Structure 1
Amino acid sequence: MVNFIQSPRFWRHFTIAVLLLMTVAGCSDESPKLIKGQPMPGFILDRLESGSLDFPNALRGKVVAIRFWADWCPFCESEMKNIEPVYRQKQERGLVILAINVRQDRKTAAAFIRKLNISYDVLLDRDGEVARRYGVIALPTTFIVDRQGNLHTRILGESTSELLHKIVEELL
């Protein structure tokens, strides 16, 4: 069995991820200042299925997990599958998950999501503007937002369902 890190596929994905992140991070001189306990920047993005979502206005009073992803991200697929059970358990108590696809077209995002069979909202950040404003430097990145719309936690890289469950439970 070959170590995943030694595989050419890993390094190809890693290189693409680094290049994309350098592009996203280099788009502006202004660096985002997201501070725990402070309001998160608002945005309006198209939903994958139809319509758009206005954050935070449409989700006031909810605990929101905002996760940034792309189909080429080697860790995004497993993480998205793993957080689905947490979402199903907690949605009636006020948990919302927004999976924001970064810089990919609707067709690419839809093909990836069909494989995963997830039920939470998928949004499209086609030009990467929201990712840039949120200071996303790696994928996946997750922000947990409390019921007042303030930043509670930022998770850089892959997280587990156990970690998400623990953090969300504190806020519900």
Structure 2
Amino acid sequence: MSILFVVFSLTILNGCQSEHSALTKGEPPPAFQLQDLNGDRVNVTKDFAGKVVVIRFWADWCPFCESEMQSIEPVYQAYRSKGLVILAVNVRQDRETATAFIDELNISYPVLFDQEGAVAREYGVIGLPTTFILDRDGRLHTRIIGESTAELFARIVDALI
């Protein structure tokens, strides 16, 4: 079953690599705009200037996404008033599927939809979950590929806040 999952995952994310995928620590990653749960456009560069921004790429079929998304909710609650923004970017799923998944998680941070996977490709995402943490200047501080712990996440965020 796990081999089938890996093959399926790679098939879904096929094409997510691009010549733009080499994001460099200390440099600003590509700006993007996506719709949120309400259908409003969110401009990541302009809307969150001066904040610590976490961009988490996920999908409902990802076995680690659910627990990790729930485990970072308390970190978000503890740091949001200090300038933390978490953006959960759903990759290549329709709004109905992603919304049903999110409704069960009881998370309060914003969810964005990358239905064509264009932003994931631009960021060089090759597996889910993948997390990018930007400092207050909008520069890449940390990239986490795969599952992370709330403790690690909190430690990184605390250093940036």
- TM-score (ref. length: structure 1): 0.90
| Equivalent in the alignment of 1:132 | 121
Which residues of 2 match residues 32-71 of structure 1 at below 5 A? Answer: 32-71=21-60
Deviation readout 1:61-102 (Å, 9 max, x if unpaired):
100110000000111111101110100110000000000000
| Equivalent in the alignment of 2:14 | 22
- Work out the number of aligned pairs and report it: 161
> Alignment partner of 1:91: what SS?
helix
| Equivalent in the alignment of 1:118 | 107
| Equivalent in the alignment of 2:84 | 95
Contact 2:52 2:160 in 1 (8 A): yes
Which residues of 2 match residues 157-172 of structure 1 at below 5 A? Answer: 157-172=146-161
The alignment's C-alpha RMSD in Å is 1.1
User: Is 1:74 matched up with 2:63?
Assistant: yes
Rg larger in structure:
1
Letter in 1 for 2:64: F
Question: 5+ unaligned residues in a row in structure 2: which ranges?
Answer: none
- TM-score (ref. length: structure 2): 0.96
Contact 2:15 2:121 in 1 (8 A): no
> Alignment partner of 1:22: what SS?
coil
Identity %: 57
Aligned residue among 107, 119, 123 for 2:96: 107
Q: Distance in 2 between matches of 1:48 and 1:12?
A: 31
Which residues of 2 match residues 146-157 of structure 1 at below 5 A? Answer: 146-157=135-146
Deviation readout 1:48-69 (Å, 9 max, x if unpaired):
2231100111000100110000
Q: Distance in 1 between matches of 2:141 and 2:156?
A: 9
> Alignment partner of 2:38: what SS?
coil
Deviation for aligned residue 1:40: 1.5
Higher relative contact order (CA 8 A, sep 6+): 2
Letter in 1 for 2:132: F
Letter in 1 for 2:129: P
Question: 5+ unaligned residues in a row in structure 1: which ranges?
Answer: 1-7
Q: Distance in 2 between matches of 1:72 and 1:101?
A: 11
